[in-house]
Structure 1
Amino acid sequence: MEKPKFNVGELVVLKTHPLLKSYRIKGDGKLVPPILLVREVFIESKKKIICDDETGNVIAELIKYTCTYFNDAKSEFLEVVLYESMLDSFRNLKIEKITPDGIVQKDEKTIIEEIDGYKTPEYKYGEIFRLKTKKIEIYKKRSSKTFKVIKNEEGEEVLNPKESVQYVVNYTSPDFIVCGFKKNDEKNSHYPDGSLKKIVAENLFKIKWFNPFQQKFSEQYVPDSFLTDKMKLD
């Protein structure tokens, strides 16, 4: 049986994420997919058909993931099911930091080590927790160019390019208040031969936040491994 590449609570990205190839987003920032958190790992039976009978082309996989992300456009959590080959690890993202003095620093190692260092938190009623994806989402940057028409020494019109950089903060989550705890009704499961079928979180935290679009407070249970109380934003 194949072994899953990612675990519950791990950060993953769709392979199309532009920060896998560049430190800055080019084009429309709204088209960038969110950082995802693995909520469930499902290993299909070896009997599952993954190739088309007629052509032999691959049409599915044996390992798939239910992933969660925070949709800031509606202030709600959404889920998507994706196969393993569609995903990449957040550890491969290129992340830069801009200091208050405007100095650009390649900072992916520091941030990735910080996130890898987050332990599954202890339950603390009334305490503030953050989604583990938050720091990466608020550090995203987009570059764009504007051109000013000038004349060169020969009197010819030429375009003088100027690059600007701005933060792209879509999919950024608010801070949450932890207000409840329960054991997950779903459990890890196995096939009759003992091989692993499904992996889920054991513990769920109830979190509360203000939803500005509905003008009310929202609540939801999420896996404890989605959250941290150790994140520092600077």
Structure 2
Amino acid sequence: MALENKFGIGDIVTFKTHPLLYDRYIKGDGKLVPPFMVVKEVFFEDKKKKIVDTSNGKTIAERIKYTCVFFDDNKSEFKTVVVYETMLNGFKNFYISRMDGEKKEEDSDYDSVIDEVSKYKDSSYLYGNIVYFKTKKLEILKKRSSVKNESITKESDDPIIEKRETFQYVVNYATPEFVLCGYKEELGEDLFYPNGSKKKIISKILYKVKWFNSNQMKFSEDFLPMECFIDKQPFPTLVPHNPKPDVDTSKA
């Protein structure tokens, strides 16, 4: 029976310990939260792969694993990690919302961001255009809650201890903007085992992007699957990042 992968190239995933899979806010140290990642490659182990320890009958591995990429904002560089399927969860299960001042957030606020990200389309290639890593908005909008006890004293009254909960954005793993500067097609070698079964799934097209590396004070470059990027601006600015394409009105 052929193996079926749960996630595809370009899907946004995270390690299943991510707190926003289970609650609307991060509690505790935000540095302990795993990143949102994009699937770069799907790999299928052959039947010879040992997934059960024969000495005790316990599962120790899986047949499907994913190479995922995320942005390390401390070193300002992309990193990859290989993770088995059951250790990952898809982004549609995340609790992510915008923070709108004093307005009480409703469930629809959480759904709207997920719906928006679900409609992302892969970036087209236009040399010199600005593009965005798919996880940018999710990383910037994740929030942490903390509770602080405050002592309030009024005249002729005993001090009253009040609990105050505050919320703040946690923006680790947030990415800069990237500029498109290269394009190449993958040859797609070694995609199948000798018996014809799938060995791996990869992207057919890679984009080369350039960005300012603030950690090393230089400009860095990397090739990544086109499915990692979008060209729709995730946050509006006074002046759009990319000019609108010229429209040929001569035939109108």
Q: TM-score, normalised by structure 2?
A: 0.87
Paired with 2:8 and 2:46, the residues of 1 have a C-alpha distance of: 19
Paired with 2:191 and 2:184, the residues of 1 have a C-alpha distance of: 19
**What's the offset of the Cα at 1:186?**
4.6
Match of residue 198, structure 1, among 177, 193, 200: 200
1:104–1:174: structure 2 CA closer, same or farther, 3 Å change rule? Answer: farther
Provide Cα deviations, 1:93-127, integer angstroms capped at 9, x if missing partner. 0112112x432434332222222222222211000
Equivalent position of 1:58 in the other structure: 59
Paired with 2:61 and 2:159, the residues of 1 have a C-alpha distance of: 55
Q: Which sits farther off after the overlay, 112-121 or 21-30?
A: 112-121
Give the match's secondary structure for 2:112: helix
Give the match's secondary structure for 2:58: coil
Match of residue 231, structure 1, among 223, 230, 233: 233
**What's the offset of the Cα at 1:197?**
0.8
**What's the offset of the Cα at 1:2?**
1.8
Letter in 1 for 2:194: P
Match of residue 148, structure 1, among 147, 150, 155: 150
Q: Percent identity?
A: 47
Mapped contact 2:186–2:205 kept (Cα < 8 A):
yes
Mapped contact 1:187–1:202 kept (Cα < 8 A):
no
Equivalent position of 1:132 in the other structure: 134
Provide Cα deviations, 1:122-165, integer angstroms capped at 9, x if missing partner. 2110001000100000001000011013479xx76653101111
Q: Which sits farther off after the overlay, 69-78 or 176-185?
A: 176-185
Q: Paired residues, what number?
A: 233
Mapped contact 1:134–1:172 kept (Cα < 8 A):
yes
Give the match's secondary structure for 1:96: coil
Paired with 1:3 and 1:174, the residues of 2 have a C-alpha distance of: 34
Equivalent position of 1:102 in the other structure: 102
**What's the offset of the Cα at 1:15?**
0.5
Greater per-residue strand proportion = 1
Mapped contact 1:187–1:199 kept (Cα < 8 A):
no
Equivalent position of 1:87 in the other structure: 88
Equivalent position of 2:69 in the other structure: 68
Q: TM-score, normalised by structure 1?
A: 0.93
Where does 1:15-26 land on structure 2 (aligned, <5 Å)?
Answer: 15-26=16-27
- Aligned CA RMSD, in angstroms, stands at 1.9
Provide Cα deviations, 1:10-55, integer angstroms capped at 9, x if missing partner. 1001100000011110000010000011111001112211000110
Paired with 1:148 and 1:53, the residues of 2 have a C-alpha distance of: 58
Give the match's secondary structure for 2:140: helix
Mapped contact 1:188–1:199 kept (Cα < 8 A):
no
Q: Which has the larger radius of gyration?
A: 2
Paired with 2:104 and 2:232, the residues of 1 have a C-alpha distance of: 24
* Structure 2 gaps, min length 5: 237-252
Give the match's secondary structure for 1:25: coil
Give the match's secondary structure for 2:122: coil
1:229–1:17: structure 2 CA closer, same or farther, 3 Å change rule? Answer: same
Paired with 1:187 and 1:156, the residues of 2 have a C-alpha distance of: 76
Mapped contact 2:123–2:131 kept (Cα < 8 A):
no
